[in-house]
Amino acid sequence: MKTLYPLISLNQKETQELFDCIKPSEYVFAKGEEIMRLDEENNMAGIIISGRAYLVTTTFDGVRTIADHYEPGCFFGKGFSLCTDLDPYIIRAASSCRVYIMEYNKLMHCCDNRCEKHVRLIDSLIMSSMHHAQLHIEVLSRRTIRGKLLTFFRQMSKEKGSRTFELPLSLSDLADYISVDRSAMMRELKKLNDEKLIVSHARKVSILKDIII
């Protein structure tokens, strides 16, 4: 699956050699399970091998926000998640998923052999994590629900290389990701369909016209 923030362009053999160097631990989590809690004492990072996960936080008044979403090839944890100290942040499985978890310091510092693959990984991690954060900021910076939706759809269309794509989040989760009321978002989605800007059914979206925001 193509993602906006791929691991790196290594073949299966090279990838296995890379993880032989890092020596991560493999875990399987059921939907809804906590994968990792992010705090100052956490020195671990992970990568999604299969399935999906969210970075979620709940504010003091009980409002849940999805701060990030992860698909196969995405790193999470220390150094890869933009969090604050105001509210707790948790990586939670959005579906059954398999992950590798490793020490952040071991990941970010070259092994004794200073292998080229490890250096390439570090470069890729820095660039991809910055790019992913910028995409979410771009969505959240839009002042209207329509602007947030259309920006996100444009990002997904570019990622998939098609005007038709499947959302990586459910509609309820999408509302939490773009920080809007779900009912208001559903009304805006209906307007976009009625105006024939898009056609959407559940998580499948097709863009019918060039998006101008």
Per-residue confidence band for 39, with pLDDT thresholds at 50, 70 and 90: confident
Number of domains within the chain: 2
Per-residue confidence band for 191, with pLDDT thresholds at 50, 70 and 90: very high
pLDDT for the residue 125? 72
For residue range 93-106, what is the model confidence (pLDDT) as tens digits? 999 999 999 888 87
**Could you tell me if 48 and 96 lie in one domain?**
yes
Say if 109 falls within a structural domain: yes
Nearest to 80 by CA among 17, 3, 5, 176: 5
Say if 135 falls within a structural domain: no
Residue 81 burial (CB count, 10 A): 20
**Could you tell me if 37 and 120 lie in one domain?**
yes
CATH number of the domain encompassing residue 72? 2.60.120.10
Residue 167 burial (CB count, 10 A): 18
pLDDT for the residue 2? 38
Domain holding 172, by residue range, is: 142-207
**Could you tell me if 89 and 34 lie in one domain?**
yes
Contact 178, 148 (CB under 8 A): yes
Say if 187 falls within a structural domain: yes
Q: What is the pTM of this model?
A: 0.77
**Could you tell me if 102 and 190 lie in one domain?**
no
- Report residue 92 CA to chain centroid gap: 12
Q: Is the pLDDT of residue 209 over 90?
A: no
Q: How many CA atoms lie within 13 A of 44 on its CB side?
A: 16
Alpha-carbon gap, residue 53 to 153, rounded angstroms: 20
Run of H or E residues at 118: helix 116-140
